[in-house]
Amino acid sequence: MTSDPAVTAVRAVISGRVQGVWFRGWIRERAGELGLDGWVRNRRDGTVEAVFAGSEAAVAEMLAACRKGPPLARVTEIATTTADTPPAAGFETRPTA
């Protein structure tokens, strides 16, 4: 975990029609474009959970993009909390939890 004050880290739980519509792959690609570190995974309750870490502007842009998602997704809610900065650089897909 970094103590760099320029890094913002947010945990997001995204609800709606977000599984089976390529949401995780879309998040991974978009996060890479924005230079974010973190991870994404499906949850057994039908939501998608992700941690985004990077500049405040890039994290805000990612969250705004998640409100729409990929074409087949229908996002109804995004709940966010502060998160610890991921220990490794890059963005990964994690197993369902």
Exactly one of 42, 44, 74, 94 is catalytic; which is it?
Answer: 42
Between helices 56-66 and 23-33, what is the axis angle to 10°? 150
Residue type, 62: M
Exactly one of 11, 17, 24, 67 is catalytic; which is it?
Answer: 24
Rg (CA), the chain: 12
Q: Does the annotation count 94 as an active-site position?
A: no
Q: Does the annotation count 24 as an active-site position?
A: yes
Contact (Cβ atoms closer than 8 angstroms) between residue 93 and residue 27: no
Residues marked as catalytic: 24, 42
